[in-house]
Amino acid sequence: MKNAIIIIVSICFILFLLVGGCAFSVYKSYKNFPDYAQKEVVYKKYDEFLDSLDTSIKKSSSVLDLAAKIEKLNFPSNILYVGLEKDVEIGEEDMLDIVKKYKKDGYKSVFTKEGTGYGTISGKDIIVIHYPIDKYKDIENCVIYLEHKKNELIESK
């Protein structure tokens, strides 16, 4: 009986440490959110591209038409990925890839707040944009990954 209690207490302590570590990691990501990934900064830097994306959304007649229009846009030179995020059940494919300029040879780690964020994909630092799409009920966002150089400053226009 004593051994069972020790095992249960040990398991609870380990779970407590894991949950605490995860919560601290999220807090740290939120607290250390870089300026270059702030929504105001990102939207200002990529305003021409986002305006053309918005126009494509408004002029599209279906999800597939939207994907075709997006594929024809003039992308920033540092674009790595553009896809439409589908509203699906867990376990189903949730992305409709439109542009993919990276090898899936590593892990993806991203943190977003208020529609923009930062992270890494296949060893590259990225800026993330989750551009909302309200026109079609089965599409939530246009997800955009842009490569970010660590020492690159965001210039104001």
Residues 56, 121 within the same domain:
yes
Domain containing 17: what range? 1-32
Kindly state whether residue 70 falls inside one of the protein's structural domains: yes
Say how far residue 94 (Cα) sits from the centre of its chain: 13
Helices (H), 32-143: 39-45, 47-59, 63-71
Same domain, residue pair 25 and 87? no
Q: pLDDT by residue (tens digit) across 20-50?
A: 544 444 444 456 788 999 999 999 999 999 9
Give the pLDDT mean for 99-125: 83
State the pLDDT confidence band at 110, using cuts at 50, 70 and 90: confident
pTM score:
0.74
Tell me: do 48 and 8 sit in the same domain.
no
Clarify whether residues 3 and 63 are in a common domain.
no
25 and 63 in a single domain? The answer is: no
